[in-house]
């Protein structure tokens, strides 16, 4: 199983109380709530607070996570946690990468996004690599402007057709190295232990609680 953990060491602790999850993605909010559950914080989503989604103008996962976290903390007056994550495909030079959600169009249709990935891989030739990795960057921001970040990565391969109804996004086409089931097939508790988001959270928890 290939896992990589990257990130910055936090210097500020999170206190019990409300924490804004700076996302309107229902699947992502659900996973983050589950990961935060044991740590005494009260997650509230940006959608619940009617906060707008800022334009993601960063050129890296970390930059986009940071701008979302800063915006939510500034508007809400609460600490905010933002996630920016995506699928990077070797044969596509790392695409869709930070544009992973946009490949699904305005409706964020990930069935269509997975079809586009498959068509793009096929267009590179019959011997195209199916290696890929997921990246998750977490940014934790406070209303006073203090920000910390954490990043995790997992490596695997892509399958076609996609398999499984669990998870969200590109999960049904991704098999972590060392496993046989896709992220769309495995039990959510198992995914929470081995995913790119879980690895980034390990760093956050070790540093901020």
User: Which of 3, 25, 5 shows the shortest CA–CA distance to 151?
Assistant: 5
Decide: 135 and 77 in contact? Cβ < 8 Å. Answer: no
Q: Give yes or no for residue 82 having a pLDDT over 70.
A: yes
Count of domains observed in the chain: 1
Q: Report pLDDT for 3.
A: 44
Q: Give yes or no for residue 8 having a pLDDT over 80.
A: no
Residue 154, domain extent: 3-208
As given in the structure block, the two tokens for residue 138 are 């977490």
Indicate which residues carry an active-site annotation: 84
What H or E segment, with its residue span, contains residue 63?
helix 61-76
* Confidence (pTM): 0.88
Going through 49-196 in order, the beta strands assigned E by DSSP cover: 80-89, 131-141, 147-158, 174-176
Helix (H, G, I), strand (E, B) or coil at 59: coil
User: What is the rounded distance in angstroms from the CA atom of residue 39 to the CA atom of residue 62?
Assistant: 23
pLDDT in tens, 58-79: 999 999 999 999 999 999 999 9
> The domain spanning residue 138 has which CATH number?
3.90.950.10
pLDDT in tens, 148-195: 999 999 999 999 999 999 989 999 999 999 999 999 999 998 998 999
Non-local CB neighbours of 88 within 8 Å, separated by 6+ positions: 94, 95, 96, 97, 132, 133, 134, 135
Q: Give yes or no for residue 110 having a pLDDT over 60.
A: yes
Q: Report pLDDT for 11.
A: 67
């Amino acid at each position: 199983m290939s896992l990589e953990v990257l990130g910055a060491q936090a210097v500020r602790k999170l206190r019990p109380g409300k924490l804004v999850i700076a996302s309107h993605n229902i699947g992502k909010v659900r996973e983050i709530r589950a990961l935060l559950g044991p740590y005494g914080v009260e997650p509230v989503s940006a959608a619940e607070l009617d906060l707008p989604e800022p334009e993601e103008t960063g050129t890296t996962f970390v930059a986009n996570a940071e701008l979302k976290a800063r915006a939510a903390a500034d508007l809400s007056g609460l600490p905010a946690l933002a996630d920016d994550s995506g699928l990077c495909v070797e044969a596509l030079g790392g695409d869709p990468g930070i544009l992973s959600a946009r490949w699904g169009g305005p409706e964020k249709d990930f069935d269509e996004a997975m079809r586009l990935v498959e068509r793009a891989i096929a267009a590179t030739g019959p011997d195209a690599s199916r290696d890929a990795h997921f990246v998750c960057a977490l940014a934790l921001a406070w209303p006073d402007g203090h920000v910390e970040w954490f990043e995790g990565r997992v490596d695997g391969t892509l399958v076609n057709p996609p398999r499984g109804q669990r998870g969200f996004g590109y999960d049904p086409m991704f098999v972590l190295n060392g496993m046989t089931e896709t992220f769309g097939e495995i039990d959510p508790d198992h995914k929470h232990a081995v995913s790119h988001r879980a690895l980034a959270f390990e760093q956050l928890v070790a540093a901020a609680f």
